[in-house]
Amino acid sequence: MINILLARYLEFFHAIPVKVFNYNEYRRKEYGKVSNFFFDNSNNESMEKREKVYALVSAEVSEFMKTHANGIAILDSTNATFKRRSRLVDIIHSTGAKMMFIEVQNNDAASIDEQVQKIIRGSPDYDGEPFDAALHDFQQKLEKYKQVYETIDSGKYPIESTYNYIKCDLQRGHFIIHNVRGYLQQKIAHFVMNLRTEPHIFYLSRHGQSEYNEAGRIGGDSGLSKHGVIYARKLAEFVEKVITKEPMASPDTANNTQQAASDSKRTDSATDAGHAASLQERPARLWTSTMRRTKETAQFIHKSVMSIPDKFNPELIHEWMQMRPRAWHHLDELFAGSCDGMTYEEIEEQFPEEFARRNEDKLAYRYPRGESYLDVIARLEPMIIEMERHREPLLIIGHQGILRIIYAFYMGLSRAESPYVSIPLNTVIECKPGAFVCEVKSHVLYKIPLDDDGQNEPKASHGHSAHAHPICSHLAGTPIPPPITIPAAICEKDIASHSSESAISPHRTGSSGGSGRYRTNSLPPRTEEEVNNPHSH
Ligand code: F6P
């Protein structure tokens, strides 16, 4: 799990070529499925085979490092002994690359049990095997590793104190960061330190339709339209019924703390959980941008105080403000600078060159005095760390450009694909990142009659659409991907028709408009009454 998330994080937010080398995959290619006897260090025959696989994978890691000067190879293997590690260090250092170890420790029986179950269910080594036999075999394998395991830098081999390493026990939140230097190594340490082991669920929603959406204008800081207010109410209901609810703890866990119960059930969507009577309140979080339209969308969400027993000491009670809104500047919409507040038609008409430039390279194109998607990716990196850090279900009420990036990161899409993801209005996208995939479900809460939507971006006048368009300049040869909609199998069919995807906009230097980076909110959110009667005050 750490490997995959770390690789995605480094590729997506730091544009680094990353490759994960999984020892077991190489081993399976050479010898197929093997039983625990293969991992017995006293078995000479299998030791020879293991060494052979090890040489193979190390050679490929070295080759990757030689051919990718700025790359990062992640070697996913046990490296449980000093002998293994020291040989690896020699091989990698001979390529001129730096080496860093991440040793993951876990002494929590329940969590180990959960991990083992996941491995047995997911590993090709146990494909088609009866569960109990697979469990027995895996436990034997673990025992064999325990017999030879030497923690890194135990004091026995002084050379190891010169290695760069992180030792982490995510369950206890305990970390040793040793000799970790430089920007990237520290970024990696920071990322790993904020990971959790429990799966977490989050919900993405654009703000309800804004007055600018209705008028076909981009950006701005308008309030909600009437349709937007209706959506805000429906979203509050959804929060009440789904986001803040989870299945009741079963009788055998009834004596445990509420926190422990909610941890164990957190992966289950309350939507699937049967009737309301069997649900209980769970602590949940709410984030918005600092812009009026997201705050107004959050206005009907019920806030209340909950008492939560401490995970380790149930006598200690924490106060939790349910769905306390937290407004982040990082989540403000991509700032269109001098084009802020214009319609796409106006931009194309007044600034055709800019319009064309954006169509050619939507990812890197920066609005004059505004931002590009690359800028937005950079400012969303801390948000991803924050999202990883939390365990409670999280609702983010954001903007199209912002949610595209968050969605793309979790879905494993590339940076180049991210500006084309379709994030429709009036829809909550439920995401459950797992070890290998992120499960996604769309909840369409409201349907605006199409004429009223105001979200249909104009087709570029030169007739190009995102489908047919040339290339991103920094990805020469890679066609611009078609717009990405939430996977059809789990997406209600008509969602895409409400989304606004096409080759988009831009503008030109020197026109009127904002300065600086993304904007801050200057006005407080309006109440529903103010939205419906804009002149009442
Ligand atoms: O149209 C709604 C909106 O959120 C605008 O405020 C923003 O400029 C735009 O979407 C971002 O989409 P794109 O990058 O495709 O223009």
Q: 358-368 pLDDT, tens per residue?
A: 999 999 999 99
How far, in Å, is the centroid of ligand 1 from the Cα of 218?
A: 6
Residue 197 pLDDT: 74
Active site residue 76: yes
Answer whether 24's CB lies under 8 Å from 79's CB.
no
For residue 281, the cross-strand partners are 245
Phi-psi region of 428 (alpha: psi -120 to 50; beta: other; left: phi over 0): beta
Which segments of 262-364 are extended strands (E)?
279-281, 285-289, 304-309, 317-322, 325-328
pLDDT in tens, 141-155: 999 999 999 999 999
Cα-based distances in Å from 74 to 3, 30, 371: 7, 20, 33
* Ligand 1 contact via 347 beta carbon (within 6 Å): no
User: Relative to the CA of 399, which ligand 1 atom is closest?
Assistant: 4
Query: 2 falls in which pLDDT band (50, 70, 90)?
Result: confident
Please provide residue 236's backbone torsions phi and psi, each rounded to the nearest 5 degrees. -60, -40
What mean pLDDT, rounded, does the chain reach? 82
Mean pLDDT within 265-269: 40
232-241, 311-320, 507-516: least confidently modelled range: 507-516
pTM: 0.80
Q: Is 474 a catalytic residue?
A: no
Distance CA 87, CA 513 (A): 60
> By percentage, how much of the chain surpasses pLDDT 90?
67
pLDDT digits 0-9 by tens, 224-262: 999 999 999 999 999 999 999 998 876 554 444 344 333
The confidence score (pLDDT) of residue 122 equals 83
117 or 348: whose pLDDT is higher?
348
Largest CA distance in the chain: 86
**CA gap 272, 268 in Å, rounded:** 7
- The residue ranking higher by pLDDT, 266 or 50, is 50
200 compared with 336, residue with greater pLDDT: 336
| 411 phi, psi to nearest 5 deg | -90, 0
Tokens for 375, please give them: 């800028």
Distance CA 262, CA 246 (A): 7
User: How many angstroms separate the alpha carbon of residue 369 from the centre of ligand 1?
Assistant: 16
Helix locations, 94-171, DSSP H: 109-122, 131-148
Cβ–ligand 1 distance for 388 under 6 Å, the answer: no
Which region among 46-60, 265-279, 417-431, 460-474 has the lowest average model confidence (pLDDT)?
Answer: 460-474
Query: Could you please report the per-residue DSSP string of 168-203?
Result: EETTTTEEEEES--SHHHHHHHHHHHT--SS---EE
Question: Which of 14, 25, 68, 76 is flagged as catalytic?
Answer: 76
Query: How far is Cα 173 from Cα 23, in angstroms, rounded to an integer?
Result: 27
> Three-class SS of residue 269?
coil
Alpha-helical (H) ranges within 253-343 are: 258-265, 292-297
What distance in Å separates the CA atoms of residue 24 and residue 124, rounded to the nearest whole number? 10
Say which of 207, 227, 399, 498 is annotated catalytic: 207
Mean pLDDT of 391-409: 97
334 lines ligand 1 (CB under 6 A): yes
Q: In testing the pocket of ligand 1, which one of 400, 403, 469 has its CB within 8 Å of the most ligand atoms?
A: 400
39-67: average pLDDT: 93
Nearest Cα residue to atom 6 of ligand 1? 219
Distance CA 402, CA 333 (A): 6
